[in-house]
Amino acid sequence: MSTIVHAIDRRGALSLLAGGAALGVGRPSLGQGAAGRVIVVGGGFGGATAARYIRRLDPAVEVTLIEPAERFYTCPFSNLYLGGLRDFESLGHGFDALRRAGVSVVHATAEDVDTAGRTVRLSTGDTLPYDRLVLSPGIDIRWGALEGYDEAAAEKAPHAWKAGSQTKLLRAQLEAMEDGGLFVLVAPANPFRCPPGPYERISMVAHYLKTNKPHSKILVLDAKDQFSKQGLFTDAWAALYGDMIEWVGLSQDGKVVRVDADAREVETEFGNKHKAAVLNVVPPQQAGLIAERAGVTDDSGWVPVVPATFASAKVEHVYVVGDATIAAPMPKSGFCANTQAKVVAAAVVADLAGRAPPAPVWVNTCYSLIAPDYGISVAGVYRVMDGKIAEVEGSGGVSPREADAAFRKREADYGAGWYAAISADTWGA
């Protein structure tokens, strides 16, 4: 075993030893031969996968999943709901299958973490002890970081960047919009959840408008000069939606500096004002707030992790996965949250058993749907190289710029296949 320790990251090895040192001292669940107690915070892509895979790898580990929602609605495919291609309920996933897999699911919010005493305090008032903690809290909005955009403003100009009532609000506004109206999407600078997400949303809104309100227009005001799968998106927009969509990047005065949600008006850096019929603001973000409470975030508001294990780089016995982490070049995607959670599950089980974790490999494929029969993707395979996460050279990349309709259709079908597969893999249904 000691030889293998060298194969993993220094910090990983250290926390492994520390884990061993904790045996027996005030940690009855480990000392008395049980495999250990793991608390997972967040029942989304990362958390549900981690809980499930820890139980799969070692059924002796007690796993408690903390998630306030009784049904989790996914952001993936919520754009298809906005486009009228899916009903809202098809985005929902319950937790019964996880319970059947032996995970105790508690519907509560984790309010605080005592990383020294290794306990989590819940909104129910209970305090639960853990041997290892896994956080997958996703993102929180940085309210006020964009002037005029606070929680009240989001009720008028929805973000719909967490799926649920916000998504329904945006859909209702689209439905109520008159033909000929202007839909404005405000896109943030990096890093943010789901880099291709705003552009898939634009595509799906365009599909809805083309079908139902063909005189309407779409304006994207972007705080960036380039975006994910840009060439593929812009080619398809021109081919499918003509001049309906206008994209304005940072250098062309696309950066919005002020939002007036009541007037549904935004102001850009160089003083241009745009009035929308429907205003969708994707605001600046940070790691889910519980990560900050647990002390695992850094200056940037995101969570640095040990690449090989996704253990917190700052706090012992805590692992973090998903959007909350600094995992680039891996994007903040549900797919990555799921594969990161599997690496964490293996690392936690090995850690509790005093073994070295297996060498990690992560995979990602982000599908985006531009029209019902028109899908595109970006893929990547990632490993730890020179102590950092890196994309394997020669792997990955985007769909070919030149491809026929059959190819785009197959990617659309595979996108739907992906959603079914990852849902089954994450929540069991």
Write out the binding residues for another protein, residues 157-196 only, by CB under 8 A.
Answer: 189-191, 194-196
Q: Which amino acid is at 388?
A: K
Q: Is 241 in the site for another protein (CB under 8 A)?
A: no
Where along the sequence are the contacts to ligand FAD (CB under 6 A)?
Answer: 41-47, 66-69, 72, 75-76, 78-79, 109-110, 136-138, 161, 193-194, 197, 201, 288, 290, 322-324, 332-335, 337, 366-367
Strand partners, 287: 139
Least distance (Å) between residue 371 CB and ligand FAD: 15
Does a cis peptide bond (omega within 30 degrees of 0) precede residue 191? yes
Q: Is 250 in the site for another protein (CB under 8 A)?
A: yes
The CA-atom distances, in angstroms, between 96 and each of 45, 72, 104, 375 are: 16, 12, 10, 32
- Provide the token pair at 140: 């929180």
Q: Is 365 in the site for another protein (CB under 8 A)?
A: yes
The footprint of another protein on residues 40-69 (CB under 8 A) is 53, 57
Residue 243 neighbours by CB under 8 Å, 6+ apart:
none
For residues 80 and 416, give the distance between their C-alpha atoms in angstroms, rounded to a whole number: 10
**Burial level of 239, CB count in 10 A (0-12/13-18/19+)?**
exposed
Pairing of strands 285-287, 139-141: antiparallel
Closest to 75 (Cα-Cα) out of 172, 147, 159, 7: 159
Least distance (Å) between residue 201 CB and ligand FAD: 6
Q: Is 386 in the site for another protein (CB under 8 A)?
A: no
Report the residue from 4, 14, 169, 289 that binds another protein according to the rule CB under 8 A: 4
Least distance (Å) between residue 134 CB and ligand FAD: 10
Minimum CB distance to another protein smaller for 173 or for 309: 309
> What angle in degrees, to the nearest 10, is found between the helix axes of 165-176 and 197-212?
30
Tell me, residue by residue from 307 to 346, as one string, x for binding to another protein by CB under 8 A and - for no binding. Answer: -------------------x-xxxxxx-x--xx--xx--x
Minimum CB distance to ligand FAD smaller for 13 or for 103: 103
Alpha carbon of residue 160 to chain centroid:
13
Report the residue from 226, 262, 263, 387 that binds another protein according to the rule CB under 8 A: 226
Residue 319, contacted partner among ligand FAD, another protein, none, CB below 5-8 A by kind: none
For residues 228 and 247, give the distance between their C-alpha atoms in angstroms, rounded to a whole number: 13
Q: Is 427 in the site for another protein (CB under 8 A)?
A: no
Q: Is 254 in the site for another protein (CB under 8 A)?
A: no
